Structure 1
């Protein structure tokens, strides 16, 4: 049975502001934060939709930059991914992600897929700053109920998981993920490679410079950064290496 706190959240989910609801969801679950990401585009990229501020936002940005982690795994597999104690996760599972996540102060992440049957829409991530051997039963029941409610809202959208802008499931105004796809297309042309290869190059550059993926993509779109060939790598239009 869901808790009274989560019942209150579910009643306000349809018309609530995503920023307020993110905080309310985290409070009801008794965790550091929550995040919702969607599978978008033909390549089914996992992109953040809304999330709690602070630690959770930084964690989601890191997952998006690297393209790996418990969130992407849950979204693409359609299976729950439980990692309530990241110290117990094998180092080779998410080798690029784990060291940075621990430095952020994220102790555990449990991810619940959003979807129905063969339809996969996204993922709900529950982020904790205190490790636990298992996710508490009440917390798990509440998280599953929240995931089911979010799935229902997404399925009521336009058929592609997109509801009207400004709702809890609408397009995020603050994330501007379209710029990443535009930059990927530009890099694909610059390097004469596939879109998948271009995205890998973009992510690798952002990761190597410890920069948010969106910031690097913005520089590419604004033509402040251009990707050269494999010998020279990215460079800036004024002749300096990027």
Structure 2
């Protein structure tokens, strides 16, 4: 399934977790957007178990989802009780009462930024084959942009985002100008350029206006950023 098809499926289902449940052998999934200061927004959780798993990890600051976010790599944990006990003992204690056999975390990557994680679990347990892992990574990449857009729309990330419905005229002009410059730097569409601007701001704990200003002043060139 292509990235656009995944996005369309998720939007029609009303959540971004649906493709994971449809295409992977898992029991539940939570899609979370995270910034570099550790602020989290759970965009969708398919059940109470996976929502608790996500919240526990952010409360403790450890676990496969946290590790996947900071490394920007998947975490594949076929035997969650044993492996978590070895790697994240506090998390293992906190999740002991939950029916979780396996955990699989896939980073949400857009451009050069990791903006969150899709955390999935399986009960009673079992691993994922290589094809399923690749599919999970593709799904996570496909929903990264829509997940970030949804978080920016609904989360009170900062004052400028809270007022995004009616930003000052000068702010709109600056963001529009920066989007055009990023479009030229990356040879992309306007939609992709704006998303990259938002993703960079989110991942680095800066406002969109601040990053747009840096682009306009030629202090930041997106063509020089790692892919």
Q: Please classify the TM superposition score into its range, dividing by the shorter chain length.
A: 0.5 to 0.7
Question: Does structure 1 conserve the Cα–Cα contact (< 8 Å) formed by 2:84 and 2:92?
Answer: no
1:73 maps onto 2:67 in alignment: yes
* Distance (whole Å) between structure 2 residues aligned to residue 73 and residue 45 of structure 1: 15
* Distance (whole Å) between structure 1 residues aligned to residue 124 and residue 4 of structure 2: 24
1:35 maps onto 2:18 in alignment: no
Instruction: Give the deviation of 1:37 after TM superposition.
Output: 1.3
TM-score (norm 2): 0.58
Instruction: Give the deviation of 1:63 after TM superposition.
Output: 1.8
Aligned residues: 158
Instruction: Give the deviation of 1:164 after TM superposition.
Output: 4.8
Structure 1 residues without counterparts, runs of 5 or longer: 155-160, 179-242
Instruction: Give the deviation of 1:137 after TM superposition.
Output: 3.2
1:13 maps onto 2:13 in alignment: no
Distance 1:171 1:127, change over 3 A: farther
The aligned counterpart of 1:140 is 133
Instruction: Give the deviation of 1:16 after TM superposition.
Output: 4.1
Please, which of 122, 127, 146 is the counterpart of residue 128 of structure 1?
122
Q: Give 3-state SS (helix, strand or coil) of 1:110's partner.
A: strand
* Distance (whole Å) between structure 1 residues aligned to residue 93 and residue 64 of structure 2: 14
Counting helix residues as a fraction of each chain, which structure ranks higher? 2
Q: Give 3-state SS (helix, strand or coil) of 1:31's partner.
A: coil
The aligned counterpart of 1:171 is 154
* Distance (whole Å) between structure 1 residues aligned to residue 19 and residue 112 of structure 2: 30
* Distance (whole Å) between structure 2 residues aligned to residue 26 and residue 104 of structure 1: 19
Alignment of 1:64-213 (within 5 A): 64-89=58-83, 91-116=85-110, 118-132=112-126, 134-154=127-147, 161=148, 163-164=149-150, 170-171=153-154
Question: Does structure 1 conserve the Cα–Cα contact (< 8 Å) formed by 2:84 and 2:91?
Answer: no
Question: More relative contact order in 1 or in 2 (CA 8 Å, sep 6+)?
Answer: 2
Instruction: Give the deviation of 1:38 after TM superposition.
Output: 1.4
Distance 1:69 1:170, change over 3 A: farther
Deviations 1:143-172 (A, max 9, x none): 122111012435xxxxxx3x257xxx8537
TM-score (norm 1): 0.55
Instruction: Give the deviation of 1:136 after TM superposition.
Output: 2.4
The aligned counterpart of 1:53 is 47
Structure 2 residues without counterparts, runs of 5 or longer: 159-227
Distance 1:93 1:152, change over 3 A: same
* Distance (whole Å) between structure 2 residues aligned to residue 87 and residue 164 of structure 1: 33
* Distance (whole Å) between structure 1 residues aligned to residue 157 and residue 47 of structure 2: 18
Question: Does structure 2 conserve the Cα–Cα contact (< 8 Å) formed by 1:47 and 1:177?
Answer: no
* Distance (whole Å) between structure 1 residues aligned to residue 141 and residue 19 of structure 2: 17
